[in-house]
Amino acid sequence: MRKKIVAGNWKMHKNAEQTEDLLNELIAQIPTETIAQVIVAPTFVNLASAVDHLEFTAIIVAAQNVHQAESGAFTGEISADMLTGIGVNTVILGHSERRAIFNETDGLIASKVNTALKHDMTVIFCFGEELKDRQSGNHFNIVENQLKDGLFHIENTAWEKVVLAYEPVWAIGTGETASPEQAQDMHEFIRETVRKAFGSDIAEDVTILYGGSVKPDNAKEIFSKPDVDGGLIGGAALNAKDFVAIITAI
Ligand code: PEP
């Protein structure tokens, strides 16, 4: 079911104490009447305490990654079973930093999607073009291919566990934002691409988030676009004042 979602990706920020402090601030400051589903993604080591901390709240805890294998000799990796075992049932996959820095390919992301879905996890599937793709006018092609190669192998019934996050790489952490019109054009294209492959019901139901330098002062305009259902927020999710302002902008 299409929802309004504001998700914060905390990346490799916040130690245990800082995590607890930020969660306390969010609990105190997010208005109870907010229509947005709020998600936070702390680092792996702080996931269990975040789940405990948020037990009686509506805030959902997500992981920033998962390994594709069930278990095995994969030093330093975390399995889906380990995540669900501590109450983490949502995972961000395909983030541009995972793609660029950790060489995650569409094929690898596709197998992580399978593993997460097998464990009944909700997947926040990230994708988006680089600056050179937009400058050469190839951005729609790139996005279509990322969707087809990383996600479109799933069954129709799996879509209820999928949230899309369009994140143009040139706008992530750069202070550069897609204009509300650029975001809407791409989100409309994404919904149309889903419609062609999976039909209108799934296309209308899927939640499509925008990510890329969303801040309190631009959130309202971006979120006002009809195909933008919320945001995946990096930098501005690291302090309660900005994150809550973005949540209330929806
Ligand atoms: C992100 O990393 O997913 C992101 C959107 O970051 P920022 O908001 O800092 O651009």
* Ligand 1 near 9 CB (within 6 A): yes
Average pLDDT score over residue span 138-147: 98
pLDDT in tens, 23-66: 999 999 999 898 999 999 999 999 999 999 999 999 999 999 99
Q: Are 172 and 212 in contact (CB under 8 A)?
A: yes
Please report, for the chain, the start and end positions of each structural domain, with discontinuous segments joined by +.
5-249
Annotated catalytic residues are: 95, 167
Best residue among 9, 39, 40, 217 to mutate for probing ligand 1, ranked by most atoms within 8 Å of CB: 9
Q: Which pair of tokens denotes residue 179?
A: 């204009």
The tens digit of pLDDT for each residue in 219-231 reads 999 999 999 999 9
pLDDT digits 0-9 by tens, 161-187: 999 999 999 998 787 788 999 999 999
Is there a contact between 228 and 183 (Cβ–Cβ < 8 Å)? yes
Q: Is the distance from the beta carbon of residue 212 to the nearest atom of ligand 1 less than 6 Å?
A: yes
Structure tokens that stand for 122 in this block: 């909700």
* Rounded Cα distance, 155 and 172, in Å: 30
Q: What would the CATH number be for the domain defined by 5-249?
A: 3.20.20.70
What are the tokens at 196?
């062609």
Distance CA 191, CA 207 (A): 9
pLDDT cut 70: percent of the chain above it: 100
pLDDT of residue 83: 98
Nearest CA to ligand 1 atom 6: 234
Per DSSP, the residues of 181-226 read HHHHHHHHHHHHHHHHHH-HHHHHH-EEEEESS--HHHHHHHHTST
Q: pLDDT tens for residues 84-124?
A: 999 999 999 999 999 999 999 999 999 999 999 999 999 99
Q: Mean pLDDT over residues 67-79, rounded? A: 98
- Nearest Cα to 99, choosing from 121, 130, 123, 136? 130
* pTM higher than the cut 0.95: yes
> Annotated binding residue at 235?
yes
Q: Which amino acid is at 54?
A: L
- The pLDDT value recorded for residue 1 is 84
118 is in an annotated binding site: no
Q: Which among 112, 133, 124, 239 has a CA at the least distance from the CA of 186?
A: 133
What the block records as the tokens of 96 is: 């541009």
